[in-house]
Each structure stands twice: as C-alpha cells, then as structure tokens.
Amino acid sequence: AQTVTQSQPEMSVQEAETVTLSCTYDTSESDYYLFWYKQPPSRQMILVIRQEAYKQQNATENRFSVNFQKAAKSFSLKISDSQLGDAAMYFCAYRFRAGGTSYGKLTFGQGTILTVHP
C-alpha cells in the first residue's frame, strides 16, 4: 500500500523568507502523480502544485516550487517570499496513475502546519 509521510508537524517562517516543507512517499509504482494542497483556516482544500512522476523537471507555480527526487521518493515544497496568506496546513498527496477507467486512490500525508510571522 502507498503511504505518504510528512515528518514536520509544524513549521514557521518570517514574512518574505523562504521555507521548505518535506514529504516522502512509499510506492512500488513507477507512474504516478504528486500534489501539494493547502488548507487555510477556512478549511477549503486548495491545490497548490502538482507533479507528474515521469517528468524530470520540477514543477513551479509562481512562488511555489517542488524538489522532486524520484529515486529517493521525496517531494518537498519550497515557498519563496512567504506571505501572511500562506499560513495554513499543507498536505502532500500521492495518486497512482491507473489505467483505463480506473482511478488511483489519492493518499494524503498527515499535514504540516505553517505559521508565517510578520
């Protein structure tokens, strides 16, 4: 079974600084997707960034980027120029790329609470 581990229950960063959130996963599959979701106090789950396992290039979305290390099964999220609005719980998630009409289950990590200090 696939597992996703976020080893940092809490992280903090100063406004305008950079922070990296860690995520590791365990799978025997070679074709899959990885995601980072953000959950602010409003509880809404918001997609931050996604990565396809077959792509070597790390995904970037404005101030958010990932460091995808497939061999090490590591998928960290870097937030540059942190803003107060980045404060939230961040979840790493894995989904197997199933074939046909099957849909691989989305497995979430335990989450990391990010605090941004002004």
Partner 1 sequence: DAGVIQSPRHEVTEMGQEVTLRCKPISGHDYLFWYRQTMMRGLELLIYFNNNVPIDDSGMPEDRFSAKMPNASFSTLKIQPSEPRDSAVYFCASSPSGGIGNTQYFGPGTRLTVL
- Residue closer to partner 1 by CB (options 19, 37) is 37
Which residue shows structure tokens 């979701």?
A: 37
Q: Which of 9, 41, 42, 56: binder of partner 1 (CB under 8 A)?
A: 42
Answer yes or no whether residue 16 interacts with partner 1 by CB under 8 A. no
List the structure tokens of 98.
């199933």
CA distance 51 to 55: 8
Q: Contact at 8 Å (CB) between 96 and 2?
A: yes
Tell which phi-psi region holds residue 71, choosing left (phi > 0), alpha (psi between -120 and 50) or beta. alpha
Scanning 15-23, 65-73, 75-83, 100-108 for contacts with partner 1 by CB under 8 A, the matching segment is 100-108
Among 8, 33, 64, 76, binds partner 1 (CB under 8 A): 33
List residues near partner 1 by CB under 8 A.
33, 35, 37, 42-47, 50, 52, 91, 95, 97, 101, 103, 105-106, 108-111
